[in-house]
Amino acid sequence: MSTPLPSSDDLYAQLVPELRSLARRGVSRTYRKNAVLINEGEAGDSLFVLLKGSVKVFAMDESGREITYGTVHTGDYFGEMSLDGGPRSASVMTLEPCTCAVLSRADVSEHLVDEPEFAINLVVQVIRRARAATETARNMALLDVYGRLIALLEDRRGDTTDGSSATLEGITHQDIANRVGASREMVSRLLKDLEKGGYIELGIRRITLLKKLPSRW
């Protein structure tokens, strides 16, 4: 039996109230999977509220090597870093079909005039992402590939800090390689070593963390 697609009202209704009122000022647009919504370095003043789907935030060098900064999911927004008029600091691509409410800089400015309390939400968002970028830069500079791999896996483990079993779904060796700035072959080799040591169990787009991972290998 087919499942009815959510209506536009349903997509807005799932947002928290302060973000819902912002999103309704924008224009609703749909995008196919693997569509690039933002290109690093380009000028832009649009903010995107993600009504449905998920996107990745990434950068790529001239040789095609990619580093993924993070993933944005339904109910969040992105693109706010260029509202100062500067160039885009990263690229954004859809990971699945997405629907966004797209707002111009003028739309956001009008919203802040009408609802000034949203400025706190915007500032917190910028601070949170600046901290994440700082942590990524710190790990790249101070940790080796294994250290970055463990930091990523433990971060994905989440609140389970006692080293108990946890399963990470929808993750591939290439995804990890893009996040830690290494080749897929190196990541696969390290994961295989951890599996042989009884620390993890590998599956198809799935990694099960069986116990606390060693800080050094």
CATH code of 59's domain: 2.60.120.10
Same domain, 190 and 90: no
Same domain, 12 and 117: yes
Domain presence at residue 3: no
Q: How many domains does the chain have?
A: 2
Report yes or no on whether pTM surpasses 0.75. yes
Q: What's the pLDDT score for residue 2?
A: 40
From 142, 159, 181, the end of a domain falls on: 142
Q: For residues 40 and 15, state if they share a domain.
A: yes
- Tell whether 14 and 113 lie within a shared domain: yes
Residue ending a domain, choose from 112, 142, 172: 142
Q: What is the CATH number of the domain that holds 194?
A: 1.10.10.10
Q: Structural domain of residue 150, as residue ranges? A: 145-209
For residue 132, the model assigns a pLDDT of: 84
Q: SS3 sequence, the chain?
A: CCCCCCCHHHHHHCCCHHHHHHHCCCEEEEECCCCEEECCCCECCCEEEEEECEEEEEEECCCCCEEEEEEEECCCEECHHHCCCCECCCEEEECCCEEEEEECHHHHHHHHHHCCCHHHHHHHHHHHHHHHHHHHHHHHHHCCHHHHHHHHHHHHHCCCCCCCCEEEECCCHHHHHHHHCCCHHHHHHHHHHHHHCCCEEEECCEEEECCCCCCCC
Last residue of a domain, one of 127, 142, 157: 142
Question: For the chain, which ranges sit under pLDDT 50?
Answer: 1-5
Give yes or no: residues 89 and 168 share one domain.
no
Same domain for 50 and 153, yes or no, is no
- Residue 79 shares a structural domain with residue 107: yes
What pLDDT score was predicted for residue 163? Answer: 59
